[in-house]
Amino acid sequence: MSIAICPGSYDPITLGHLNIIRRTSRIFDRVVVCVMNNAAKPSPMFTVEEKLDMVQRAVSRYPNVVVDCSSGLLAEYARQYEGAVIVKGLRAASDFEYEFQMNLINKRINPELETMFLTASEKYTFLSSSVVREMAMYGADLTGLVPNEIIADIQRKALLWRKP
């Protein structure tokens, strides 16, 4: 059985992420979406539980996709799935530089682990979780940026963040 891992901060999940997850689910038998509790991104908008819940609702339409989380190193996390491949989305040259470096580090930790990249869909190349967070803070319409089923969650959280 072929297994892909789609890691990310998912703070929150966007339609760009979902596009990569959906395309990966067509190529691999099983996809594990792993919400990484990343020390490099210290002040997330959402808790891991909230992120897991939103990702779960967004991917529930894909039968071969499961959701998990990890606060460890991705290269260590991946060891539990034999032969699993990391699949990531690439938006621009800036993504490439970062991902290339991460891939080399992952290879040092776990030489068996392969990473594959899918190019971002043209309509989502501008989209990132930080853009969504910023738009939400200004009360902007999030339709077309994130899955419809999580818009209310983001708006609710943005309201809390706006309050002093």
The least CB distance from residue 22 to ligand ADP, in Å, is: 11
Please give the C-alpha separations between residue 158 and each of 16, 44, 113, 128, in angstroms, as whole numbers.
Answer: 20, 12, 37, 16
Part in contact with ligand ADP (CB under 6 A); list of ranges 10-18, 68-76, 108-116, 155-163: 10-18
Does 70 bind ligand ADP (CB under 6 A)? Our answer is no
Q: Of 55, 84, 127, 154, which lies in the binding site for ligand ADP, with binding defined by CB under 6 A? A: 127
- Torsional class of 88: left (φ above 0), alpha (ψ -120 to 50), beta (otherwise): beta
Say if CB 33 and CB 21 are below 8 A apart: yes
Say if CB 78 and CB 86 are below 8 A apart: yes
Q: Of 33, 65, 89, 142, which lies in the binding site for ligand ADP, with binding defined by CB under 6 A? A: 89
Let me know the angle formed at the C-alpha of 83 by 37 and 11, rounded to the nearest 5 degrees.
20
Say if CB 118 and CB 85 are below 8 A apart: no
Q: Of 124, 133, 147, 154, which lies in the binding site for ligand ADP, with binding defined by CB under 6 A? A: 124
The least CB distance from residue 23 to ligand ADP, in Å, is: 10
Nearer of residues 125 and 155 to ligand ADP, judged by Cβ: 125
The least CB distance from residue 20 to ligand ADP, in Å, is: 5
- Percent helix, strand, coil in the chain, to 5, is 45, 20, 35
Does 147 bind ligand ADP (CB under 6 A)? Our answer is no
Residues making contact with ligand ADP (CB under 6 A): 8-10, 14, 16-17, 20, 88-91, 95, 120, 124, 127-129
